[in-house]
Structure 1
Amino acid sequence: MCRTISIFNMKGGVGKTTTAYNLAAGLADFCHQKVLLVDIDPQGNSSASFGIPIWDLELQIRDVLLRKASIQDTVISIRDNIDVVPSNIILAEDEIPISGLPGRELLLRKAIASIEDKYDYILIDCPPNIGVFSINALMASQEVLIPVDLSFLGLLGLRSIEKALDLIRTALDHPLKITGVLATRYDGRTNVSKEVLQSLKDTFSDKMFSTVIPENVKIKEAPSFSIPVYQHDEKGVGAKAYSSLVQEVICR
């Protein structure tokens, strides 16, 4: 059965895209899973991280949401076991028209239903807000993975995330399981990283991933080479961290 997981946080700069594309690549390469990465963030960074020329797209996720194309028509195969549904900033231009469509919260869910039997995992990279694109992603998912950067503002934003997930569960009547909370951008030299990490563990206990993603230059460099961090810096701490995350996701 396909697992559909949204990578979601309402704060930017927490590592959503970095987590989405490294997790997609790791599930495919380490665990031989067939993975679809849906980039529903108008920035298109997940797509670009896999080397997709996002400014030359003939079709993208906006065409699916506007019902102008099937999702299968937008799929780009990266290599064995990894497909991507891309996006770019043009998606943002259509947010208002898409928000006015009947059944707007379920557009992505209905589109994915036609192809989900082809995949073991569908990962959705969300924008940093609770607008129509994130709602579509969450309504299309059974699970949500929440990256949280280890800063005071990262911790402060958790209440907003909880309210957003409560909206999905109650107002829209959609059960949503938290796959895990992922601590990102950890810097062991600073007290704030240590204190926020402990606060996260105290708050989420068994929902926390054991894996902690470090603040690491190689993680930031990898997208410029269109490869995941474990190919860019095989023995580095960033590569080991994301490899560990892949195993934890598989086991949950």
Structure 2
Amino acid sequence: MANEANPCPCDIGDRSDYGGLGQEVQIDHIKAYVVKPSAPSDKAVIVIHDIFGWELPNTRYMADMLAANGYIAVCPDFFVGKEAWSPTKDWAEFQEWLEDKKPTNINKEVDAVLKFLKEQCGSKRIGTVGFCWGGVATHYLALLYPEIKAGVSVYGMVREREDKYELKSPTLFIFAENDQVIPLDQVSALEANLKEKCTVAFQLKIFPGQTHGFVHRKREDIDPADKPQILEARTDMLSWLNKHM
């Protein structure tokens, strides 16, 4: 299996050399990677990167995949120019690095991107997809933005807030069974509380045998046994967006 390191093993051994099909643009105070589908579309997805930042080829590949399925995809730099995490850094410094890059402190950037999508791209239905750090951000936005029609949070969840279960937009949570970052008891607690308190559609899905980072980080030719679940998770992501957008 891929990606066994702690505390956020998104990038171990599986970095893609993918180049990307979109272009980089300036949206208000932030840069963003934007890729559009071949046919006009009024549907858009904000792709929220992990701790390795908006330029990571693996995340841009996911944006391109969304565009190939009919969505305008935009991956903004939610670190706003600050240095992304690097696998060469000392994990003992991670919390200090994270201090000014909280995934629950992105409202200014999200508002700018929403304005861009509505006014410059003609987007009428907007969703979010986020990975790891971005999965937390996706969960957070689902609590605050009813105008976001659907969210897919991939191995991420808000943990530090009390009001984290009353979602405003339908959200799919994708988890890995062998995720050392998100224990299954936390996933079970999230599901139980959502069943009690959430009034919009939601789903939690755990992928057996997989580890953190498998959906967007795993090179599918490293371990053929992983490929079916990688493809299933991506299909689930697209199906959720298609259903709710």
**TM-score tier (shorter):** 0.3 to 0.5
Using CA pairs below 8 Å that are at least 6 residues apart, which structure has the higher relative contact order? Answer: 1
- More helix by proportion, 1 or 2? 1
TM-score by length of 1: 0.42
